[in-house]
Amino acid sequence: MADKPTFREEIAGVLHASTGNPLDVCMQCGTCSATCPVASGGFMDNSPRRIIAMINAGLKERVLKSNTYWYCASCYHCTVRCPRGIDIAELMYGLKRYTVWHAKTQEGMIGPVFSETFVKMIVRTGRSYEPVLATSYLFTLGVPEMIQEAQTATSLMLKGRLPLLPARIKRLDNFKKVLKRIIPLGDPDE
């Protein structure tokens, strides 16, 4: 029986589909961290450069506790600037998936709940509908933020920019059959 893969190997595994170079070519130059608008704004507890160093050093628990990848906005600026050709934005996606699959997402983080709500919604109807999405984060907000959110929503509603009814695709049955051939989903309506 093969040995249990190291954390570093597991992460290399989730990046299998990416066309970027492997993480061990990282030379710790920090171009990604300086480029990242969220990291340079001071919002990430570990910069992308540090996350890569932590993965290479096998610091699994600390990586899984970090907010870095859930605070990545997928702007790909790090990816296009990395002098070593590492697809860093793709790494952030990989780490998100890793934590979702292992059910290791941190408490109070809106990102994973939002993504899962989104995925379930599309499986049911084929299209996005903002009011359903709002349920994934509305109750995590404080009272002042909730009031702000309601005000923004009201202004948009008055301008006719919020949908009243969810959209559905026409060949929804076929659509669900397609998705079931990829992942054995239970019927969400049953």
Partner 1 sequence: MKKYAYFPGCSLEKMAQSYHHSSIETMRKLDVELEELEDWNCCGATAYFHVDELLAYTLCARNLAQAEKQKLDVVAPCSGCYKNMFSTRAHLQHEPALADHINYALEADNLKFTGSSAVRHLIEVFVQDIGLDAVKAKVTQPLKGLRVAPYYGCQILRPRKADEDVEQAHYFEDLMAAIGATPVDFELKLRCCGGALIITNRKAALSLVRNLLDNAAKVGSQVIATACPLCQVNLECYQKLVNQEFGTNFNMPVLYFTQLIGLAFGLPPKQLGIGTELVSAESVVCLARSKPS
Binding stretches for partner 1 (CB under 8 A): 17, 19, 37-38, 41, 43, 70-71, 73-77, 79-80, 87, 89, 93, 96-97, 100, 109-112, 114-116, 118-119, 122, 126-130, 133, 137, 145, 148, 152, 155-156, 159-163, 167, 169-171, 174-175, 177-183
In the bound state with partner 1, the residue whose beta carbon lies nearer, of 2 and 41, is 41
Minimum CB distance to partner 1, residue 3 (Å)? 26
Minimum CB distance to partner 1, residue 33 (Å)? 15
DSSP assignment of 69-84 equals: GGG-----HHHHH-TT
In the bound state with partner 1, the residue whose beta carbon lies nearer, of 28 and 140, is 140
CA distance 81 to 74: 14
Minimum CB distance to partner 1, residue 9 (Å)? 19
Half-sphere exposure at residue 118, Cβ-oriented, CA atoms within 13 angstroms? 8
In the bound state with partner 1, the residue whose beta carbon lies nearer, of 4 and 159, is 159
94 with 12: CB under 8 angstroms?
Answer: no
Minimum CB distance to partner 1, residue 130 (Å)? 7
DSSP assignment of 144-156 equals: HHHHHHHHHHHHH
Minimum CB distance to partner 1, residue 39 (Å)? 10
In the bound state with partner 1, the residue whose beta carbon lies nearer, of 27 and 75, is 75
Half-sphere exposure at residue 144, Cβ-oriented, CA atoms within 13 angstroms? 0
Q: Which pair of structure tokens corresponds to residue 190?
A: 């049953």
In the bound state with partner 1, the residue whose beta carbon lies nearer, of 26 and 88, is 88
Q: Which pair of structure tokens corresponds to residue 116?
A: 């899962």
130 with 163: CB under 8 angstroms?
Answer: yes
3-state secondary structure of 19: coil
